[in-house]
Structures are given as structure tokens and as C-alpha cells.
Amino acid sequence: MSTSANRGKEAENLVKKRLEMLAKSANVAWHRPPDMRSGSFQPALCDFLLLQEGQLTLIEVKQTQHDYRLPHGNLSTEQVGRMRVWEMAGARCYILVYHSGIKQWRMEHVSHFSERTGGSWDLRPLSTRRLEDILV
């Protein structure tokens, strides 16, 4: 059962394990910035910073039980805005969505989440993939 205390932790742990595997290569480094749950008084920029072959990528991980929707409440406009600032400075910025019911992932550029109509994003146009096929 997902509660506010552990929401998204399964997905974040899966991403962390994948990044640990990638970091065995000399051209990959990653960092998990502290968030408010770990005592930070500042909102986190993203869940993971990935530096791979000289390219900085910000990754925000979201988890939902729905097969293809992500509620707007799961990703604030402030979060999107913080990531867009870094994007304008040259970083790649992505939202990585884990659909726990079907155990599949979708990844999309942060700009996709700037538009808000209705109560959630319909992610069906984005193909589902395995995490190992997204973070390579």
C-alpha cells in the first residue's frame, strides 16, 4: 500500500540501483540530492543528477498505480519550473514515470509537463519501456 511517506520509493530505489550499475563505467557519475523527507529545508531540484559522457541530466522520478495517467498533483508547476531553468542553462531534464501496476516506465522531456488540462496527463502516446532500455 502506498502512503504519503513511501509514495514513489519503489521507483526511486529501482532507478538508484540502475544508476549504480551504470556508474561502474568511468564516464558516468550520479548524485541523489537530499529532499525535504531527508531533512532538507529547500525543495529538491530533482531526484537524481546524472552526468554521462559530459552531459548533465536531471531526472525526476514519479510513481503511479495507473497504467497510463499521471495526476497533475504528482508533479508541481514549481518543480517543472525549477527544472526548466536548468534546461535553459544546458542540462537535459526528464520526468521518469513508473507505472507500478504494469511494471513499465515512460520517460518524457520536462517541457511535456508544462501544459495542464484536466486533472492528469494522458501518457498513452509515450511508449512504455523497461528501465534498462531508458537509462543506458
Question: In the prediction, which pLDDT does 43 show?
Answer: 84
pTM of the model: 0.90
pLDDT at 7: 63
Taking the C-alpha atoms of residue 51 and residue 83, their distance in angstroms, rounded to an integer, is 15
Report yes or no on 97 lying in a domain: yes
Whether 4 is covered by a domain: the verdict is no
The series of mean pLDDT values per 10 residues for the chain, 136 residues long, is 63 98 95 74 90 97 97 96 97 98 97 95 97 96
The Cβ of residue 70 has, within 10 Å, a number of other Cβ atoms equal to 21
| CATH number, position 92 | 3.40.1350.10
Total domains, the chain: 1
Looking at residue 1, what is its pLDDT?
Answer: 46
Q: How far apart are CA 119 and CA 111, in angstroms?
A: 17
Contact 66, 72 (CB under 8 A): no
Which residue, chain included where needed, has cell 543528477? 49
| Residues spanned by the domain of 116 | 9-134
State the pLDDT at residue 38: 60
